[in-house]
Amino acid sequence: MKYNRVLLKLSGESLMGDQQYGIDSKVLEQYATEIKTVLETGVQVAIVIGGGNIFRGVQGVSGGIVDRAQGDYMGMLATVINAMALQGALERNGMKTRLLSAIKMEQICEPFIRRRAMRHLEKGRIVIFGAGTGNPYFTTDTAASLRAVEIEANLVLKGTRVDGIYTADPEKDPNATRFEKISYSEVYERGLNVMDLTAITLCQENNVPIMVFDMNKEGNFLKVCNGENVGTLVS
């Protein structure tokens, strides 16, 4: 395989499937199958998952429920719920996992300790990082970039519903064209909505490439880890 250690970033919304809210068990099973195929090749897999299918901090603010910091903490807890659901699906499929949280919750997950996370990966366990960075005002995209840098991952994989980065939203603009490769600076200049700027800057400063690909297409995760061109590489 081309990559030895990867970090997979999944959005919370991706877990909804065709539902309007919550977690679709069929999506969990599909992701578990894809991840197992990669794990069996010897690639070390870490995962960061969002919480937008349950709660988004910005929604709480716009709805007048809470202030931004409080809303972001609520969103972090939502990521832990998703992480636990994904952990259950992975373990049902015979994989060993560890859930590490940036917010201490001793009864359900380990606290995030960098060296411990790396040791789990070396032992062939899938490491799921919950609760974002543990700080408000940072997205789970930034958490994914941060954890990838910390664990010395070779690649950040952003699993989406589309097969890469386009000149415009392909679901709205039929003339949008896909990039095979693009530089970090061009993502900035074009204002492309790939990951937030903090996440991209972290990867750029630490030379961690980002692959944006369609996680819902069978076999794509394995192809990306094998170096096949099934998405857009940001480097």
**For residues 60 and 70, is the Cβ–Cβ distance under 8 A?**
yes
Domain CATH number, residue 182: 3.40.1160.10
* Number of structural domains found in the chain: 1
pTM beyond 0.75: the answer is yes
pLDDT, position 57: 72
Distance, in Å, from the CA atom of 96 to the CA atom of 2, rounded to the nearest integer, reads 23
pLDDT, position 170: 79
The tens digit of pLDDT for each residue in 35-46 reads: 999 999 999 999
Identify the domain containing residue 144 by its residue range.
5-234
pLDDT, position 91: 98
User: In angstroms, how far is CA 156 from the centroid of its own chain?
Assistant: 8
pLDDT, position 191: 87
The tens digit of pLDDT for each residue in 88-135 reads: 999 999 999 999 999 999 999 999 999 999 999 999 999 999 999 999
The tens digit of pLDDT for each residue in 132-147 reads: 999 999 999 999 999 9
